[in-house]
Copies of this chain bind each other. A is one copy, B any other.
């Protein structure tokens, strides 16, 4: 069965966050779980959505940026004007991410280069020591 329900505590433990964090995301409109009375019930979709949020957070996006990205998935497919707007915003975000990947690759390259230099310094120190 794919329609298993999670309590907030279960979901929190699965995703390794606190319940406060999950409720806070709901407060911001990032998640909207079902309710049975007053208690929240989360399904697979909610879990996936939370996972997307957490990945975005790890990548350094603000919760507002994350909301904007998630909203791209919630567009009304019957409204042409909306579709066009969402595609435009999506393209913008895609470009930003491409830039970010390039910057990250630059940082990566620089660290690799630094590592090589440090290693060389280290090797030369060995040669100097071994001849004493």
Contacts and interface: CB of A to CB of B under 8 A. Distances in A.
B115 A87 contact: yes
- Count class of interface residues, chain A: 35 or more
Contact of A122 (B84, B111, B118, B125): B84
A53 to B, nearest CB: 12
Interface stretch (A17-25, A35-43, A96-104): A96-104
B55 A114 contact: no
A94 interface: yes
Number of copies of this kind of chain in the complex: 2
A56 B103 CA distance: 9
Contacts of A98: 108
Interface of A: 55-56, 58-61, 69, 72-73, 75, 77, 80, 83-84, 86-87, 90-91, 93-94, 97-98, 100-101, 103-108, 111-112, 114-115, 118-119, 121-122, 125
30 contacts: A55-B103, A55-B106, A55-B107, A56-B107, A58-B100, A59-B103, A59-B104, A69-B107, A72-B111, A75-B118, A77-B121, A80-B122, A80-B125, A83-B118, A83-B121, A83-B122, A87-B118, A87-B122, A90-B114, A90-B115, A94-B108, A94-B112, A94-B115, A97-B107, A98-B108, A101-B101, A101-B104, A101-B105, A101-B108, A104-B104
